[in-house]
Amino acid sequence: MADKPRLDVDRITCRFDGRDVVRDVSFTVRAGEVMCLLGPSGCGKSTTLRVIAGIERQVSGAVRADGITLSDEQVHLPPEARGVGLIFQDFALFPHLSVAQNVGFGLKGNKAEIARRVHELLERVDLAGYGDKAPHMLSGGEQQRVALARALAPRPRIMLMDEPFSGLDNRLRDGIRDETLQLLKEEGTAVVLVTHEPEEAMRMADQIALMRDGVIVQKGAPYNIYNAPADKAAAAFFSDINVIRGAVQGALVDTAFGQFLAPGHPDGTEVEIVFRPQHVKIDFDRGGRGPNPTPQDGTPARGIVARARFMGHESLVEFRMDFDGGIVKATVPAVFLPKPGTPLWLTVRRDRCFVFAKKR
């Protein structure tokens, strides 16, 4: 069994009112691995999770755990028979049970064993000493951590989490996220985490499946998705982007920022060159004169500062470009707030640009 993924989601399609809200979705998750389903609201993330949990039924495709079928067109194991832990957005604690009773609810074993496990988990979620309290005496964030402890208590093989951290305030969130992750890794749980926040996915995931309109548009390690997005929208999901346009001639595109490689695009193809603000450099020294600093940097182009804002760990400067009157955004990792109207020269890291055929 060791070679089988812990969770295998195999081409599932889920239909509501004649509409495919999840179509042909496939991914695998190994023990101790975190898969993030990432995408905008309504793209089918929660539905996918509910199919894995057995709360929703797919019209086609299969869900397997360690090679055993949990559901397909014929089989449909009920949620409680799947060995799957769930933490959903609208978690519900049993209001008439204490915190400790909530956490121990699904546990088997003798009283001392259960008490030990409950104590261990409450410590892990930073709620030691809260065991005897009633849920309503806790804040929303504390209740969320109890729900987390309860889901972890039976040591599920697979943990499904639907935006479980969105109710926590910022101060707590990072700590709880990292703690949760560590706990799940230690226990060798395969995790599917749903989120619409790219930062959360980058922080938590071993693999990201980027979803849009019910399908997975790209799957891979965070680094790969960020640095080799499948299309313009995939690039834009993770940060602000800049877009300039051009036409391909001999696998090259000529622009005011120099030539870009466009391998595989036939002559005459209209393309969009996409790059992130962090890969725009302000060329303080040259002002368009003299040799280029490095071959990656291409040709400096002049823009006029339209707006500059300090963002905390960087400054974001927007330029109106001479060559087409469009806006290019640059981030500078320092306090840099030039006055609007200031002319400056920009270069872009050509090795960090993405060239996509323009969609019609």
Residue 195 is a binding residue for ligand ADP (CB under 6 A):
no
Question: Could you give the CA distance from residue 99 to residue 89 in angstroms, rounded to a whole number?
Answer: 19
77 is written with which tokens?
């194991």
- Cβ closest to ligand ADP, residue 46 vs residue 144: 46
Closest approach of ligand ADP to the CB of residue 221, in Å: 22
- Cβ closest to ligand ADP, residue 51 vs residue 125: 51
Only segment of 41-49, 199-207, 257-265, 348-356 that touches ligand ADP (CB under 6 A): 41-49
Closest approach of ligand ADP to the CB of residue 330, in Å: 33
Applying CB under 6 A, among 46, 101, 143, 315 the residue interacting with ligand ADP is 46
Only segment of 42-50, 107-115, 139-147, 274-282 that touches ligand ADP (CB under 6 A): 42-50
Question: Could you give the CA distance from residue 347 to residue 279 in angstroms, rounded to a whole number?
Answer: 9
Sign of CA dihedral 147, 153, 154, 160: positive
Using CB under 6 A as the binding rule, the residues of this chain from 17 to 36 that contact ligand ADP are 17, 21
The amino acid sitting at 208 is I
- Cβ closest to ligand ADP, residue 209 vs residue 317: 209
Using CB under 5 A as the binding rule, the residues of this chain from 28 to 57 that contact Mg ion are 46
Using CB under 5 A as the binding rule, the residues of this chain from 81 to 100 that contact Mg ion are none
- Cβ closest to ligand ADP, residue 58 vs residue 98: 58
Residue 64 is a binding residue for ligand ADP (CB under 6 A):
no
Question: Could you give the CA distance from residue 201 to residue 233 in angstroms, rounded to a whole number?
Answer: 17
Applying CB under 6 A, among 31, 43, 52, 100 the residue interacting with ligand ADP is 43
* 215-220 and 68-71 strand pairing: unpaired
For residue 340, the partner it binds in Mg ion, ligand ADP, none, with Cβ less than 5 to 8 A by kind, is none
- Cβ closest to ligand ADP, residue 22 vs residue 316: 22
Closest approach of Mg ion to the CB of residue 13, in Å: 18
Whether 276 contacts 241, CB under 8 Å: yes
Residue 144 is a binding residue for Mg ion (CB under 5 A):
no
Binding site for Mg ion (CB under 5 A): 46
Binding site for ligand ADP (CB under 6 A): 16-17, 21, 39, 41-47
